[in-house]
Amino acid sequence: MTLPLERQETAAPARAPGIDTHALAAEVIRKADKSHPADLVLRGTFHKLRAISRGQSREVSRLVFSYYRWQGWLDPRRRLESQLKRAAELASGFAERPETFSDEKLLTRSLPAWASGEIEVAASWVRAIQAEPILWLRARRGAAGELAAALRQAKACGLPDAVWYFGDQDLFHRKEFQTGRFEIQDISSQAVSILCDPQPGQTWWDACAGEGGKTLHLAELMENKGLIWATDRAEWRLKRLKARAARARCFNYRAAFWDGGERLPTRTRFDGVLVDAPCSGIGTWQRNPHARWTTTPEDVRELAEIQKRLLLHAAAAVKPGGRLVYAACTLSRSETQGVAEDIDAQLAGFEPLPLPDLVQPGRPSAPRRWFWPEDLRGNGMFVAAWRRVAPAP
């Protein structure tokens, strides 16, 4: 189910006096590196500039991300400000007339050289990640149409509760957000919770919960009945989850620290365990183009080993008949197919669990699912699942 491309009309950003957006974007790029991702540098820069308008911050962000999206097309010998201007021209040209950009040039200039050895590189994927990303919301269950109508510049599409927002309001100040009527969540992330298929009254564990986007979605699908354990190795993420859960009126969860080791945070045995594992983030290369040029093959291999350890440890908490779900917002062979095959071989007492096709409903189920950016117009995502058929030793 590939969503149609639609031109989004946006108003020209308002300009506050004394701020040169091109110079500010260049400053961000000079500070950004592997240890200081561009999106974090942007946040820190905007936090210090209290006088910057929302329109200016959007323009600076667009300039920075366009630079990294089109970096392979730029002449590094030119001044950075000149490269920014050229990147903006390329972004505008691609948005208006993508057919004038050949597949050959897109494939050779838009990705790091090592990518083809780890990823099923196709022109459709590269075209998808060269476009500016869209903003996805997750409405309360069954209320996507109502939310889209309230926000006006929005459309319910793609998945049951997904809403595509193409306006320019500050959504965090909308009463619908403050009263928990929606979350900002990528559509591919929403797909993961749907594939988990948690039922009201069950007990689930979101093992790498982060700030809790999928925890809250699982709770919504469970009608806030039953119990969800949410764990992470970063206490600050769990604190953010607490604030988000209060706003969403989600109270059927427990938060706990887990470092990914063999010692589990609880002796509870679960109907389902979701391991949304740390990964290389290749699936986010549209939304986070800086990562294309900082991620390495070594990162991919190291993270694949971490994912396997997490899955093998977390599997011990699955009760007979329960399911283990592996998700990662990456598309590398090592982390997706490679991890799934190793788990098939190492995980005793489990069998692959068929998952429905959410992109083309009605097609046969399969135990592994890829979501490419061109499928749902969201992040790239991989999902695999297993069912425990024998008690743990």
Task: Just list the catalytic residues.
Answer: 329
Check if the beta carbon of residue 183 is closer than 8 Å to that of residue 141.
no
Supply 316's token pair.
Answer: 């011990």
Which structure tokens are listed for 149? 């109508």
The three-state secondary structure class of 213 is helix
Confirm if 228 and 218 have CB atoms less than 8 A apart.
yes
Residue with tokens 């990528």: 186
Other CB atoms within a 10 A radius of the CB of residue 287 amount to: 20
d(CA 199, CA 207): 18
Is residue 259 packed enough to be buried (19+ CB in 10 Å), middle (13-18) or exposed (0-12)? exposed
Q: Which of 195, 202, 193 is nearest to 269 (CA)?
A: 202
Work out whether the CA dihedral 240, 244, 247, 251 comes out positive or negative.
negative
Angle CA 348–351–352, to nearest 5: 130
Q: What distance in Å separates the CA atoms of residue 215 and residue 77, rounded to the nearest whole number?
A: 47
